């Protein structure tokens, strides 16, 4: 029988090859598990009716393989498929399903579109009513072969052609450092066009470009005062001729039925003003006036590196109650990020108000944590029968919604919460015998979904929602296990590089927007700035993309070089503003950076860790002199760290869990003091009744530090603690996402009074990485998951765990359960991977690809 085909080919880190921004996309495929290890492959590229094959290429490469043909030119389409050979079979596999790749507009001269928007007077200092723009046009009266829409905006857009929405993306074009990079998308709109009369139009919103955004209610016009569409529709007829409809002075604009729109504020929509046929040739011209045209440097228009934001799930309310003043209070049973879609029927002018919140207090929406983000949507009904509506250019973080003004009988089926986030491919799963730990893991997953909204944000609900560098730095190992986030984070890291200051400083959040005095001028800070070195390395480990590491290397190097200068010859970074172990639970509420751990201990520890990782990166990239230089630097910092912060007996100057956890996890101690530090760490944790005493820096490290110094039992005590502060405390309080503070909701059920009280912040969920590696037992041990370790370390009374990870090579899975005599484990090793298994009490041994059942008789695993 012919061996099974590999998966269809993927291009770069995209799931869809349409509109790719390079003429030489790299190819990846996953060999079929049943086909055995790949020994050789052949790629076929079919373009312009001609196909070309590479011939049989010996090798196991199947990840980001170089484009094997002449570069594609703008708008060029190719079909790509692959087949493989295993060592044991001379017959090739079947060909994979062909995948389509098609380039976008690769050169600036391909663009003729100009930004177009409202020409009427607007007050840039005030709230402005959004516009819609459109154009009626004639397509030639001959068959259309294909049509593509290349589209972006200053602000946000949603396009329609002949009454049908184009694509299903939300908040397009997302958020990048707009002056340098504005992403456009490519849509296949062939089926929406007809020969003869057609209409194209777009809804516009302010979004990040000119909407109010940032602290204290936000700043308007961060990137510009205009709200404009930039679109180019290219129609190719079967005879090869083309028509191009680009945004220019011939378009028209009209005030939108969206009366107000803001990412924080929400949206107000007057359906009485809507004409559902506004993008059809028959639409009335009343109220439409010629547009104003602007300029945009086409060199700044770039294709996306990752998937768009879209709705990925719909949730109906689990309960609806009536408040004393007659409003409807809906509970969706899950704290989520998205918006409501409602269908309501009532007299014209009936106004429905939709408010959102993550938690209730005294039976009412608790909106104080949202600060200045009003998160209120308003619909004014047209009075023409049942009307279905969902806001377009906003998202809210909520579990509860309150609806005011519902006309007639309330139908719970008429309201749906639509979950939105960057639509990444899920790659990681974990569950175990403890339902509370499973809920904690679910909460991590939901916090990732809610905060991976084009950029990795701190929180999705209050007037912030910024790309805080420290949060993703600690969470990236968890994120890259759960989802294929390579494209999205690669894109964001490009923006981090663009926002890096000339002296090497990495901003606290990216994209940079006007900040509070604390963040202005921007100062370098440990743990946050270290995203420049650590996150590219994490992505390289998980996704195996050496080019990604190469592209971001200069950013990491400039960061470490800066810190080297700041530290001076003694190698101690002990000056300047630092956030330290941010949100240490013992820090005073008004100064979350003032925890028990010396901030400069944290800074110097991170300096060593970054220098070490930069050396690893330099080594991987073949920059040998850099590798030596940064290794030496890391050694010197380590020595300096020890003499400044560690006493001879292993006690540290900050006798705090974070200090020990960091020193152990970053490998900053000699063997003797390392064990002493581990013992002291365990002692501190146990003294404290195994309640959490760490913040953003210590929390992601503490379980590993305990595990690696033979205090696994203490790590499990911490994990399974249910008293405040602890991970499972939040679960006992009904959390369905990870909270910003250990006690965002306090044991008496009241809200934490602090100004920062989010219920959806992934940073403290970084413990899931330990769940995957230590409880679950699957660890990536070489770049691109070429080698894996299956090393479950059971404890805490957990009797089984099942962990699965879709590696670039295929499925890795480990199920273990304790038995009377020890442990039974079922392990799946993907093809082309080298694996080591180490069950408790057993010597490590090699495992070949395939599925294996193993037993250990070690009673420690019970
Ligand atoms: C954010 C954090 C962030 C921190 C830095 C907060 O307001 O929500 O998650 O990292 O500020 O100080």
pLDDT of the residue at 857: 80
CB 638 within 8 A of CB 605: no
For residue 794, how far is its CA from the centre of ligand 1 (angstroms)?
A: 34
Lowest mean pLDDT among 25-34, 413-422, 677-686: 25-34
Lowest mean pLDDT among 187-191, 511-515, 695-699, 851-855: 511-515
Find the Cα–Cα–Cα–Cα dihedral 559, 562, 568, 572, rounded to 10°.
-30
Burial class (CB in 10 A: 0-12, 13-18, 19+), 590: exposed
568: left (phi over 0), alpha (psi -120 to 50) or beta: left
CB 697 within 8 A of CB 595: no
Q: What atom in ligand 1 is closest to the CA of residue 468?
A: 10
Q: Is the CB of 525 under 6 A from ligand 1?
A: no
Q: Is the CB of 468 under 6 A from ligand 1?
A: yes
Q: What atom in ligand 1 is closest to the CA of residue 470?
A: 10
Q: Tell me what percent of the chain is helix, strand and coil, each rounded to the nearest 5.
A: 25, 30, 45
Identify the residue whose C-alpha is closest to ligand 1 atom 1.
458
pLDDT of the residue at 860: 47
Q: Which tokens belong to 261? A: 């729109």
**Confidence band for 514, pLDDT divided at 50, 70 and 90:** confident
Instruction: Inform me whether the pLDDT recorded for 858 exceeds 80.
Output: no
Q: Which of 216, 506, 582 best tests ligand 1's pocket when mutated (most atoms within 8 Å of CB)?
A: 582
CA distance 19 to 75: 8
**What digits encode the pLDDT tens for the residues 367-385?**
999 999 999 999 999 999 9
**What digits encode the pLDDT tens for the residues 570-617?**
999 999 999 999 999 989 878 888 899 999 999 999 999 999 999 999
First to last CA, the chain: 44
For residue 549, how far is its CA from the centre of ligand 1 (angstroms)?
A: 26
Q: What atom in ligand 1 is closest to the CA of residue 582?
A: 12
Three-state SS string across 585-611, please?
CCCCCCCCCCCCCCHHHHHHHHHHHHH
For residue 605, how far is its CA from the centre of ligand 1 (angstroms)?
A: 20
**Which helix (H) or strand (E) segment is 769 a member of?**
helix 767-770
Burial per residue of 156-165, b for 16 or more beta-carbon CB atoms within 10 angstroms, e otherwise: bbbbbbbbee
CA distance 323 to 335: 20
**What digits encode the pLDDT tens for the residues 725-780?**
999 999 999 999 999 999 999 999 999 988 889 999 999 999 999 999 999 999 99
**Confidence band for 473, pLDDT divided at 50, 70 and 90:** very high
Identify the residue whose C-alpha is closest to ligand 1 atom 7.
756
Q: Is the CB of 756 under 6 A from ligand 1?
A: yes
Instruction: Inform me whether the pLDDT recorded for 710 exceeds 90.
Output: yes
Q: Is the CB of 581 under 6 A from ligand 1?
A: no
Q: Is the CB of 464 under 6 A from ligand 1?
A: yes
Identify the residue whose C-alpha is closest to ligand 1 atom 12.
579
CA distance 208 to 175: 7
Q: Is the CB of 531 under 6 A from ligand 1?
A: no
What residues are labeled active site?
464, 740
Q: Is the CB of 472 under 6 A from ligand 1?
A: no
Identify the residue whose C-alpha is closest to ligand 1 atom 3.
468
**What digits encode the pLDDT tens for the residues 652-669?**
999 999 999 999 999 999
Identify the residue whose C-alpha is closest to ligand 1 atom 8.
458
Q: What atom in ligand 1 is closest to the CA of residue 469?
A: 10
CB 418 within 8 A of CB 338: yes
Burial per residue of 542-560, b for 16 or more beta-carbon CB atoms within 10 angstroms, e otherwise: bbbbbebbbebbebbbbbb
**Confidence band for 98, pLDDT divided at 50, 70 and 90:** very high
For residue 554, how far is its CA from the centre of ligand 1 (angstroms)?
A: 26
**Confidence band for 135, pLDDT divided at 50, 70 and 90:** very high
CA distance 557 to 503: 11
For residue 468, how far is its CA from the centre of ligand 1 (angstroms)?
A: 6
Instruction: Inform me whether the pLDDT recorded for 862 exceeds 60.
Output: no
CB 449 within 8 A of CB 419: yes
Q: Which of 370, 457, 458 best tests ligand 1's pocket when mutated (most atoms within 8 Å of CB)?
A: 458
Q: What atom in ligand 1 is closest to the CA of residue 756?
A: 7
Q: What atom in ligand 1 is closest to the CA of residue 696?
A: 10
For residue 114, how far is its CA from the centre of ligand 1 (angstroms)?
A: 38
Q: Is the CB of 463 under 6 A from ligand 1?
A: no
pLDDT of the residue at 861: 43
Q: What atom in ligand 1 is closest to the CA of residue 471?
A: 10
Q: What atom in ligand 1 is closest to the CA of residue 592?
A: 12
Q: Is the CB of 587 under 6 A from ligand 1?
A: no
508: left (phi over 0), alpha (psi -120 to 50) or beta: alpha
For residue 755, how far is its CA from the centre of ligand 1 (angstroms)?
A: 11
Q: What atom in ligand 1 is closest to the CA of residue 593?
A: 12
Q: Which tokens belong to 585? A: 């639970």
For residue 599, how far is its CA from the centre of ligand 1 (angstroms)?
A: 16
Average pLDDT, rounded, for the chain: 96
Collapsing DSSP to helix, strand or coil, 148 comes out as strand
CA distance 537 to 617: 7
Q: Is the CB of 471 under 6 A from ligand 1?
A: yes
Collapsing DSSP to helix, strand or coil, 477 comes out as helix
Beta 823-829 vs 850-856: how paired, if at all?
Answer: antiparallel
Identify the residue whose C-alpha is closest to ligand 1 atom 2.
458
Q: Which of 472, 510, 515, 756 best tests ligand 1's pocket when mutated (most atoms within 8 Å of CB)?
A: 756
Q: Is the peptide bond before 521 cis (omega within 30 degrees of 0)?
A: yes
For residue 203, how far is its CA from the centre of ligand 1 (angstroms)?
A: 33
For residue 466, how far is its CA from the centre of ligand 1 (angstroms)?
A: 9
CA distance 89 to 83: 13
CA distance 720 to 822: 22
Burial class (CB in 10 A: 0-12, 13-18, 19+), 520: exposed
For residue 590, how far is its CA from the centre of ligand 1 (angstroms)?
A: 13
For residue 690, how far is its CA from the centre of ligand 1 (angstroms)?
A: 26
């Amino acid at each position: 029988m012919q061996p099974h085909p590999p998966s269809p080919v993927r291009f770069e880190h995209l799931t869809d090859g349409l509109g790719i921004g390079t003429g030489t996309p790299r190819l990846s495929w996953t060999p079929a598990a049943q086909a055995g290890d790949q020994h050789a492959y052949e790629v076929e590229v079919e373009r312009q009716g001609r196909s070309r094959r590479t011939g049989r290429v010996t090798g196991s490469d199947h990840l980001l393989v170089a484009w094997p043909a002449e570069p594609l030119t703008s708008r060029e389409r190719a079909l790509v498929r692959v087949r493989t050979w295993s060592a044991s079979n001379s017959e090739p596999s079947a060909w994979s399903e062909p995948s389509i790749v098609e380039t976008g507009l690769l050169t600036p001269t391909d663009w003729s579109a100009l930004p177009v928007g409202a020409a009427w007077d607007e007050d840039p200092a005030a709230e402005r009513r959004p516009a819609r723009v459109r154009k009626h046009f004639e397509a030639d009266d001959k068959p259309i072969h294909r049509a593509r829409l290349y589209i972006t905006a200053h602000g946000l857009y949603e396009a329609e052609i002949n009454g049908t929405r184009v694509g299903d993306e939300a908040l397009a074009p997302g958020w990048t450092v707009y002056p340098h990079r504005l992403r456009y998308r490519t849509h296949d709109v062939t089926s929406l066009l007809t020969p003869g009369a057609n209409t194209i139009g777009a809804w516009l919103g302010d979004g990040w470009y000119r909407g109010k955004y940032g602290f204290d209610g936000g700043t308007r016009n961060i990137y510009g005062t205009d709200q404009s569409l930039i679109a180019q529709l290219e129609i190719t007829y079967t005879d090869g001729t083309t028509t191009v409809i680009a945004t220019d002075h011939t378009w028209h604009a009209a005030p939108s039925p969206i009366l107000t729109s803001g990412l924080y504020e929400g949206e107000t929509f007057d359906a009485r003003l809507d004409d559902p046929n506004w993008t059809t040739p028959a639409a009335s011209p009343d109220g439409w006036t010629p547009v104003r045209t602007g300029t945009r440097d086409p060199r700044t228009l770039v294709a996306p590196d990752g998937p768009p934001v879209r709705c990925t799930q719909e949730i109906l309310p689990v309960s609806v109650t009536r408040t004393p003043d007659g409003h409807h209070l809906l509970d969706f049973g899950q704290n989520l990020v998205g918006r409501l879609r409602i269908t309501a029927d009532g007299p014209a002018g009936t106004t429905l108000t939709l408010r959102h919140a993550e938690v209730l207090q005294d039976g009412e929406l608790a909106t104080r944590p949202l600060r200045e983000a009003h998160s209120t949507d308003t619909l004014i009904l047209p009075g023409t029968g049942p009307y279905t509506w969902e806001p377009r250019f906003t998202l809210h973080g909520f579990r509860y919604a309150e609806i005011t003004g519902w006309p007639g009988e309330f139908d719970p089926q008429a309201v749906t919460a639509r979950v939105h986030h960057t639509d990444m491919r899920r790659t990681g799963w974990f569950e175990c015998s403890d339902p509370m730990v499973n809920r904690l893991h679910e909460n991590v997953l939901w916090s990732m979904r809610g905060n991976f909204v084009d950029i990795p944000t701190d929180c999705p609900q209050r007037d912030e929602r910024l790309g805080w560098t420290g949060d993703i730095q600690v969470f990236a190992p968890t994120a890259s296990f759960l989802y294929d986030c390579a494209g999205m984070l690669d894109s964001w890291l490009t923006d981090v590089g663009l926002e890096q200051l000339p002296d090497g400083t990495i901003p606290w959040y990216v994209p940079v927007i006007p900040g509070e005095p604390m963040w202005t001028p921007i100062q370098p800070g440990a743990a946050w700035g270290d995203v420049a070195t650590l996150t590219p390395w994490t992505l390289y480990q998980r996704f195996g993309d050496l080019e990604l590491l190469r592209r971001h290397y200069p950013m990491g190097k400039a960061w470490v070089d800066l810190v080297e200068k700041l530290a001076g010859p003694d190698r101690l970074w002990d000056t300047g503003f630092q956030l330290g172990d941010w949100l240490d639970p013992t820090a005073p509420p008004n100064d979350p950076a003032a925890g028990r751990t010396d901030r400069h201990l944290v800074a110097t520890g991170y300096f060593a860790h970054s220098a070490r990782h930069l050396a690893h990166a330099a080594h991987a990239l073949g920059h040998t002199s850099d590798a030596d230089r940064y290794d030496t630097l890391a050694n010197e910092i380590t020595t300096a760290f020890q003499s400044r912060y560690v006493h001879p007996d292993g006690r540290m100057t900050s006798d705090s869990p974070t200090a020990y956890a960091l020193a152990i996890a970053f490998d900053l101690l000699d063997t003797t003091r390392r064990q002493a530090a581990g013992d002291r760490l365990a002692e501190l944790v146990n003294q404290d009744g195994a309640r959490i005493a760490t913040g953003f820096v210590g929390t992601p490290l503490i379980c590993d530090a305990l595990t690696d110094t033979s205090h696994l039992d203490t790590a499990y005590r911490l994990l399974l603690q249910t008293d405040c502060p602890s991970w499972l405390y939040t679960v006992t309080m009904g959390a369905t996402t990870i909270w910003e503070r250990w006690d965002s909701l306090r044991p008496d059920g009241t809200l934490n009074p602090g100004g920062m009280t989010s219920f959806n912040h992934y940073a403290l969920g970084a413990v899931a990485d330990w769940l995957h590696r230590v409880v679950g037992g699957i660890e990536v041990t070489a770049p691109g998951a070429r080698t894996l370790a299956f090393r479950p370390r059971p404890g805490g009374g957990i009797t089984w765990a099942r962990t699965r990870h879709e590696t670039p090579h295929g499925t890795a899975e480990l199920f273990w359960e304790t038995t009377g005599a020890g442990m039974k484990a079922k392990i799946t090793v993907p093809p082309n991977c080298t694996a080591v298994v180490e069950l408790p009490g057993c010597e490590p041994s090699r495992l070949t690809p395939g599925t294996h059942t193993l037993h250990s008789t070690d009673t420690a695993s019970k």
